[in-house]
């Protein structure tokens, strides 16, 4: 029998980052290591009070939860020398202030059970916690971490949009040997969701896997380049084993016409194809968004268009923020099969009124799709779209106000108010609901040392 050996994206990327680092100036590594394991260490504590109310208007249970989160992160420096070693440690604690008993399921607190309709309603525990860590090594311009990771790139991002952040368990390598270029690669097998204490196998946000089936791990590799004035571009490739291969490219450009006026065109593109055992069925999806923003003084107006091509939705890692599309909003991602959407957004920075730290934004997004073309294949994990939804339509309105204290004992204390209104017609009845969502977030990051 003829056998073949396939290099995984992780292996290739690790080799590339180490090779690139081998040409780095050793003085750069030595300078970065001079602070040492103790002197180069940091300890931060984030206190986040989070209230989330999701009001449904279609008869399902409302979700109303309120909690207090504590996230402590210690990052050591590196031992001195050509090869340096260090550790990162995190600890998280979530306290229930209100929620559960029929109002769970907002993703702030853990839930214990579900109704047949899928509405989470069990009482949340009074507290939940987790702790994790990673070991790390730095050599020749490359940092390798193994353990619990905070990730934020276009194909795998935990984000921090809830009371506690999301983490992934695996290995990551980052190389910064070349000016303006960052190379990133890794493999993860588990994740810890926003409202969980333990780790589970990495999954997808919109797909429903067959019973007893799961993806063993995800590989990724990518590059970020910022070498041209005003330009940022990313190129990433990833594989969620036995589910999909996903590729991403973006290009963002900001051009200052004068001191008061600038324009910002940009483009995001994802290509997703089923691979391996194709546990979610056949996927052949390419999704893109384009935007054009204009800043005049302290206000910015942005228009964006987004299109999903394929009979499955654009999907990404479960509960993460790895969707770098322009029309991904507070409630909806506007990512249904074949969906076309547009958005208008207006942002204002109140520093123009002499109120530094106060910012606001309002946006309106509208999407349409012919869901009769969505897959209904028996082996698909995306067969839940309305087969009668020929003229499916929904819209979302978002309002966001945030204030961050600029100085004094409470410096960096932030208060954020978010309000989202979503409405849809009958075409979306199996996947969307008419709802209003309110979030009140008080965030206080403290740099202890």
User: Do 359 and 348 touch, CB atoms closer than 8 A?
Assistant: yes
Which tens digit of pLDDT belongs to each residue from 15-36?
Answer: 444 444 443 444 444 444 457 8
Give the per-residue pLDDT at 318.
Answer: 87
Give the per-residue pLDDT at 112.
Answer: 61
Calpha distance 5→19 (Å, rounded): 21
Among residues 303, 308, 400, the alpha carbon closest in space to that of 358 is found at 400
DSSP category for residue 428: G
Q: How many CB atoms lie within 10 A of CB 231?
A: 14
Calpha distance 424→54 (Å, rounded): 16
Spell out the residues 6+ positions from residue 88 whose beta carbon is closer than 8 angstroms to its own.
Answer: 73, 74, 75, 76, 133, 134, 136, 145, 147, 148
Positions of CATH 2.40.160.10 in the chain: 46-202, 209-449
Give the per-residue pLDDT at 21.
Answer: 43
Give the per-residue pLDDT at 7.
Answer: 38
Architecture of the structural domain at 209-449: Beta Barrel (2.40)
Using alpha carbons, list the distances in angstroms from residue 74 to 40, 99, 174, 197.
11, 31, 19, 19
Q: What is the DSSP string of 343-401?
A: EEEEEEEGGGGT-TTEEEEEEEEEEEE-GGGS---TT-TTTTS-TT-TTEEEEEEEEEE
Cα-Cα-Cα-Cα dihedral sign, residues 147, 150, 152, 157:
positive
Q: Which residues of the chain have pLDDT under 50?
A: 1-33, 114-120
Calpha distance 249→235 (Å, rounded): 5
CA 194 to chain centre: 11
Which superfamily is assigned to 46-202 in CATH?
A: Porin (2.40.160.10)
Strands 414-424 and 435-447: antiparallel
Give the per-residue pLDDT at 100.
Answer: 62
| Three-state SS at 57 | coil
User: Do 269 and 275 touch, CB atoms closer than 8 A?
Assistant: no
Q: What are phi and psi of 335, to 5 degrees?
A: -125, 25
Q: How many CB atoms lie within 10 A of CB 446?
A: 13
| Three-state SS at 78 | coil
CA 351 to chain centre: 29
Please state the three-class secondary structure of 191-207 as a single string.
EECCCCCCCEECCECCC
Among residues 275, 223, 207, the alpha carbon closest in space to that of 246 is found at 275
């Amino acid at each position: 029998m003829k056998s073949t050996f396939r290099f995984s994206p992780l292996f290739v990327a690790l080799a590339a980052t180490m090779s690139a680092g081998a040409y780095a100036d050793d003085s750069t590594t030595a300078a970065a290591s001079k602070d040492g394991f103790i002197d180069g260490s940091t300890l931060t504590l984030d206190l986040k009070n989070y209230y989330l109310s999701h009001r449904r208007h279609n008869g399902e249970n409302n979700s109303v939860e309120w909690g207090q989160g504590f996230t402590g992160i210690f990052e050591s420096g590196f031992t001195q020398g050509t090869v340096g070693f260090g550790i990162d440690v995190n600890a998280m604690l979530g306290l229930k202030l209100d929620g559960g008993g029929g109002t769970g399921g907002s993703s702030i607190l853990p839930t214990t059970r579900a109704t047949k309709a899928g509405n989470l309603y069990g009482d949340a525990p009074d507290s939940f916690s987790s702790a994790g860590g990673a070991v790390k090594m730095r050599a020749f311009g490359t940092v390798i971490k193994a353990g619990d990771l905070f990730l934020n790139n276009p194909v795998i991002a935990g984000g921090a949009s809830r009371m506690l952040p999301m983490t992934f368990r695996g290995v990551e390598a980052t190389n910064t040997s070349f000016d303006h270029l960052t190379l990133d690669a890794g493999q993860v097998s588990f994740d810890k969701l926003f409202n969980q204490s333990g780790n589970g196998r990495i999954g997808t946000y919109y797909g429903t896997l067959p019973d007893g089936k799961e993806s063993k791990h995800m590989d990724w590799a990518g590059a970020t380049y910022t070498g041209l004035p005003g330009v940022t571009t990313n190129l990433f490739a990833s594989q969620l084993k036995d589910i999909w291969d996903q590729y991403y490219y973006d290009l963002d450009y900001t051009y200052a016409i004068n001191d008061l006026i600038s324009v910002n065109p940009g483009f995001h593109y994802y290509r997703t194809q089923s691979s391996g055992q194709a546990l979610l069925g056949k996927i052949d999806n390419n999704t893109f968004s384009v935007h054009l923003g204009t800043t005049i003084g302290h206000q910015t107006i942005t228009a964006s268009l987004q299109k999903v091509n394929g009979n499955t939705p654009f999907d990404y890692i479960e509960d993460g923020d790895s969707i770098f599309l322009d029309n991904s909003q507070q409630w909806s991602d506007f990512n249904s099969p074949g969906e076309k959407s547009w958005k208008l957004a207006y942002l204002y920075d109140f520093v123009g009124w002499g109120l530094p730290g106060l910012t606001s934004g309002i946006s309106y997004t509208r999407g349409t799709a012919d869901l009769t073309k969505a897959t209904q294949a028996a082996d698909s994990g995306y067969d839940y779209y309305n087969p009668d939804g020929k003229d499916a339509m929904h819209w979302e309105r978002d309002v966001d106000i945030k204030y961050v204290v600029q100085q004094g004992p409470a410096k960096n204390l932030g208060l954020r108010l978010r309000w989202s209104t979503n409405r849809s017609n009958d075409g979306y009845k199996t996947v969307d609901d008419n709802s209003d969502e309110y979030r009140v977030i008080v965030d206080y990051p403290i740099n202890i040392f």
